[in-house]
Structure 1
Amino acid sequence: MKRFSQRMSARGFAELNVTPMLDFAFTLLVIFLITTPLLESGIDVSLPQAAANRRPPNPHSVQTVTVTRAGGLFWNREPITIAQLPGRVAEALRLHPDLAVAVRADKDLRYQELVSVFDTLQAGGVPQVALVHAEEAAGLPPATP
């Protein structure tokens, strides 16, 4: 009888009961499913609506403004100053009323310098301004010749 009880106890340890582990896993899953939508709606923000059939701008009407880390400014590939930017904007708007400006700024640029460029473009009446990020930059010409 003693041998039988030893075999049973050894066999009992060999089996792993996974039911409590599955209960715990499913409980965590339910908690995450309930709390995830609450995390997204936790901040009250009115998001703008995008036009569903908005056309991309004419490639000939897109100009590039590049701002380097040192604060250098380029209109397409030509170096300019911030004082020359309004004149360039006015000339480009005269040629292309549907002007779009893609702003390429170095990630280490001081925020105030970028704001100055955006203020100048807005004051010049540019209807579309976009800030280019790394994935979009692949198709644009380099900042300096």
Structure 2
Amino acid sequence: MQVQDEAKPYDTINVTPMLDLAYVLLVVFILMTTASVQGLSMSLPKPSNKPSTEKHELRIIQITTEGRTLINGVAVSMEELESQLKQAKAKDKDVQAMIKGDGKAQYARVIAVVDLCNRLEVNMGLVTARIGV
């Protein structure tokens, strides 16, 4: 019985680890490029410790579950909402609008109201409620 001391050289390269690395890099690249979500740009107010002494008109805009739009409790169409906000903006350039969307309302209606306020340059805020309260 003879033992060969000579190691036979490999004539092929194992590419499996290199392919694994390439697939991992490809998945990471795909995830990172699709992770950049585009959305609305909003400038949120910064809190201050001083109480505000200025009083401005406040409009409360509600979007109900059925998709109706209410301004200060009165049902309006989007055109009427736009004209009322324009009139309020003409009276007081710093008029404020609080947007309250029902939890089951169509999100597109809320975004339409936000877009309208952005277009008319009306200061706005989103009304939220605590969960479980």
Could you report, residue by residue, the CA deviation over 1:20-51 in whole angstroms, capped at 9, with x for unpaired residues? xxxxxxxxxxxxxxxxxxxxxxxxxxxx7825
Structure 2: 5+ residue stretches without partners: 1-43
Question: Who is 1:61 aligned against?
Answer: 57
**Contact residue 88 and residue 95 of structure 2 kept, 8 A:** yes
Question: Who is 2:82 aligned against?
Answer: 86
Question: Who is 1:131 aligned against?
Answer: 126
**Contact residue 67 and residue 106 of structure 1 kept, 8 A:** yes
Question: Who is 2:34 aligned against?
Answer: none
Question: Who is 1:39 aligned against?
Answer: none
Question: Who is 1:118 aligned against?
Answer: 114
Partners of 2:100 and 2:52 in 1: CA distance: 18
**Contact residue 64 and residue 102 of structure 1 kept, 8 A:** yes
Q: Say which of 92, 99, 124 aligns to 2:95.
A: 99
Cα pair distance change 1:58/1:68, threshold 3 Å: farther
Partners of 2:53 and 2:67 in 1: CA distance: 27
Letter in 1 for 2:82: P
* Structure that is richer in helix per residue: 1
What TM-score does the superposition give when structure 2 sets the normalisation length?
0.57
Cα pair distance change 1:55/1:63, threshold 3 Å: farther
**Contact residue 57 and residue 100 of structure 1 kept, 8 A:** no
Task: Determine helix, strand or coil for the equivalent of 1:70.
Answer: coil
State the Cα RMSD in Å.
2.4
Structure 1: 5+ residue stretches without partners: 1-47, 136-145
Cα pair distance change 1:90/1:49, threshold 3 Å: closer
Percent identical: 18
Cα pair distance change 1:124/1:55, threshold 3 Å: farther
Letter in 2 for 1:107: G
